[in-house]
Structure formats: C-alpha cells, structure tokens
Amino acid sequence: MKILLVDDHQMFLDGMKALLTESDVVTAIEVVNNGRDALRRLQTGGFDIALIDLRLPILDGFTLLEEMNKRNNLTPIIIVSASRDPHDIEKAIELGAMSFIPKSSSGQKIIQTIRDVLGGKVVYSNNATVSAIFSEESEEWAAQHHITQRQLEVLRLVRKGLSNQAIADQLSLSVPTVKTHISAIFNALGTQSRTESSKKSHQLGLD
C-alpha cells in the first residue's frame, strides 16, 4: 500500500513515518508539506490512501477535499488534525473525508483506522456525533494515564469546580467513594490538589 502524508510540521511527519514504517500495512510513503503539492500528487492516482492535516499552507485541508471532489478523485482521505472544533470535524466529513483522527490518538488507533478505511469502512459516518469522536479519544487518554472511566468522569467534574458532594450526587456515588477516586487521580497524575490535577490533565491533552 502506498500512502501520502500531508502536514507542514516536520516533527509530526517524522513520527508518522516511523509509525507507519513499523506497521505491516504500508509499503511506500511519500510526504508533502502543503495542499497544492498534495493535490498534484493525488491527481496521479498513485496512492491507496492519504493522511491530511487541515491547517496547511497554500491550500488548506478543506480546499484540498473540495478540489478532489471537483476532479472526482476517489483516493480515501483520513484527516489527522489537532483541531477540536466540531465544525471542522463535521465539515471534513461532509466533504468526503473517510475519517477524522485527533493528532493525540494512539499509534494503534491510527493504524486501525487506516485498516478500516482501506477496507471500505467510513469510520465516522455523516451522522456520527462529534461527541462520539471525542468520547473515544478521552477513553484512550484515560487508558494511557492509568485512569479508569469512572475516575475520568470524576476528574471532568472536578475540573468544572464541583464539590465532592455535588460529584457524588451527579454520579450516584457516596462521598467516600468520590474521595477515593480523587485520591487515585492524584496518584495517577502525580498531583496533590484538585487545582493541580485540573491543570495537569489539561497539559496532558485532556479536553
């Protein structure tokens, strides 16, 4: 399988090339760093799939998708972006992207999405909710930082400033159970307070 990577950040491109090279789904990788060159390369029809950022020089990802539609180019496109704007996700899907992957996704998630798209699957269909995309990403984040899904729910409410009693009421838990979850969150994040945990989780990429 031949893949085209389109991004203007060299560090990200290097990481993606290393990830894809180590996998068994890619036989050749070509890299470009702007939308104009990406469109030229895609017009050759020589690629099985393309991973494209939205924020690109000359032609951005949206314009690139629009131009591909005009040319009836059927190369499957996966958007890999740091954007968390729901409108960006919805617009990319409407323009024909086969999937939208946050850049914070795990390597395993990226490889699996490539496999799914190559198999003809639209990983997030036009009626998929943006919340479902972010929910899956949050689950991955929690697993990476050794936090359970219940602890993630507690952490989100901590970040909103809710008291232990309010968290207990909202999640139908006892106050001692909430305190236990918060203690576990402190241990997982290496923090000592609710405020520090909120800041640390944000710094680590939790939306």
Q: What is the pLDDT of residues 124-151, one digit of tens each?
A: 644 444 555 556 667 777 888 888 888 9
Q: Where in the chain is the domain with CATH 1.10.10.10?
A: 145-203
- Read off the DSSP letter of residue 174: -
> What are the pLDDT digits (tens) for 75-125?
999 999 888 777 788 888 888 888 888 887 888 888 988 888 888 777 664
Q: Which CATH architecture has domain 145-203?
A: Orthogonal Bundle (1.10)
Q: Could you read off the pLDDT of 18-52 as tens digits, one per residue?
A: 888 888 877 899 999 999 999 999 998 889 999 99
Q: For residue 125, what pLDDT is reported? A: 46
Of the candidates 160, 159, 161, the one whose C-alpha atom is nearest the C-alpha of residue 201 is 159
Q: What sign results for the dihedral spanned by CA atoms 118, 121, 125, 131?
A: negative
Tell me the β-bridge partners of 4: 30, 50
Q: What is the pLDDT of residue 126?
A: 45
* In the chain, % of residues over pLDDT 70: 92
For domain 2-129, the question of CATH label 3.40.50.2300 is answered with yes
Give the separation between CA 156 and CA 162, rounded to whole angstroms: 9
Q: The whole model's pTM is what?
A: 0.63
* Residue ranges of the chain that CATH labels 3.40.50.2300: 2-129
**Cα dist. 43→27, 47, 68, 77, 102 in Å?**
20, 9, 8, 13, 26
pLDDT at 130: 53
Over residues 170-182, the pLDDT tens digits come to 888 899 899 999 9
Residue 204 Cα distances to 75, 112, 116, 141, 171, angstroms = 34, 23, 28, 9, 24
How many beta carbons lie within 10 A of that of residue 174, not counting itself?
Answer: 11
| Confidence (pLDDT) at 180 | 92
Q: What percent of the chain has pLDDT over 90?
A: 40
Please state, in angstroms and rounded to a whole number, the distance separating the CA atoms of residues 65 and 57: 14
The secondary structure element, H or E, covering residue 175 is helix 175-189
